[in-house]
Structure 1
């Protein structure tokens, strides 16, 4: 391959990445205005004592706002067990219970170690709950991929909402979403 073809290929990939990241931002920063049966909150870092990291608290608070506004009737919290050893689903559930959400309105998934597993576990839960609509709640840069994988696994009526907490590292994470989205297209 000549250096000219290589440079043009890199330029095309860069342009594609910019377009994709812009698309992810447009989709991910859109506030959910409707109603859904359930909010699906995707996990993130939990501290050893079970406290939520600021980026996870932002996600859970966004779902809590939807719940309090009666835009969703139930909340599914999903995550794995990270380096702290504390299950993310349990930590999110505990936080929601402390905020006054009744235990019967919270579904806990501690096997959702990535977006695909969360979506898969939601599909399994839905076999007994029969939700007609859902809203995935995550950090803004992550919403596009989360909606995509839930739809790909067969649940069509899914929207998105986002944490209202923003961090400088979000710029790096939106760039990480570029290869991650296409990996999900090809692998799952």
Structure 2
């Protein structure tokens, strides 16, 4: 019973954290990758993440968008596909930094930390699905990146329930590794 209560409380905390955007001026937006379809189009989840970043960029929240993802099984680099989407939506090339080696959330956190040090970034807003934000922020903090905030994409689907459960275990795995 105690384990069940811990699970329910943990899932509620992850959902609450992810659905409560903490948006303030930051040096960078960090958009995590997701599926690029075999025809090169973006999954709805990925497009929603980028649309949120575009909204924040136009609001003046940050002048830099870092896009991070890996080579998907569909044969496309997520970072490059994300960059192309942003360019088509009027974001200047100089405002976009591409990380095509972010194959996992942990790799994205490590790669972003290197990018941040080179560019002098001290603050970041992570943009992803709501259930993904707590773990991503944790991983960035474990990389000694102190000013980490989050903003969730406005896209929801039934599989989010499974994703929340998966994130509970993933979050605690990285918390213990910390």
Common topology (TM > 0.5): yes
1:106 and 2:93 aligned: no
8 Å contact from structure 1 (residues 49, 86) kept in 2: no
8 Å contact from structure 1 (residues 40, 137) kept in 2: yes
Deviates more, 1:26-35 or 1:148-157: 26-35
**1:162-181 to 2 correspondence within 5 Å?**
162-181=152-171
**1:17-28 to 2 correspondence within 5 Å?**
17-28=7-18
1:120 and 2:149 aligned: no
Q: Secondary structure at the match of 2:63?
A: strand
Report the equivalent of 1:59: 49
8 Å contact from structure 1 (residues 39, 63) kept in 2: yes
Q: CA deviation at 1:128?
A: 1.0
Give the TM-score, by structure 2 length: 0.96
Q: Which has the larger radius of gyration?
A: 1
Per-residue CA deviations over 1:137-163 (Å, capped at 9, x if unaligned) read 110001000111001111000100000
8 Å contact from structure 2 (residues 23, 149) kept in 1: no
Q: CA deviation at 1:33?
A: 3.2
8 Å contact from structure 2 (residues 30, 127) kept in 1: yes
Report the equivalent of 1:30: 20
User: What is the aligned length?
Assistant: 178
Deviates more, 1:140-149 or 1:28-37: 28-37
The CA distance in 2 between the partners of 1:165 and 1:45, in whole Å, is 14
Q: CA RMSD in A?
A: 1.0
Stretches of structure 1 that go unaligned for 5 or more consecutive residues are 1-10
Aligned pair partner of 1:48 in 38, 42, 46 = 38
Q: Give 4+ residue runs of structure 1 displaced > 6 Å after superposition.
A: none
Report the equivalent of 1:182: 172
Aligned pair partner of 1:133 in 117, 120, 123 = 123
The CA distance in 2 between the partners of 1:155 and 1:19, in whole Å, is 27
Q: CA deviation at 1:48?
A: 1.9
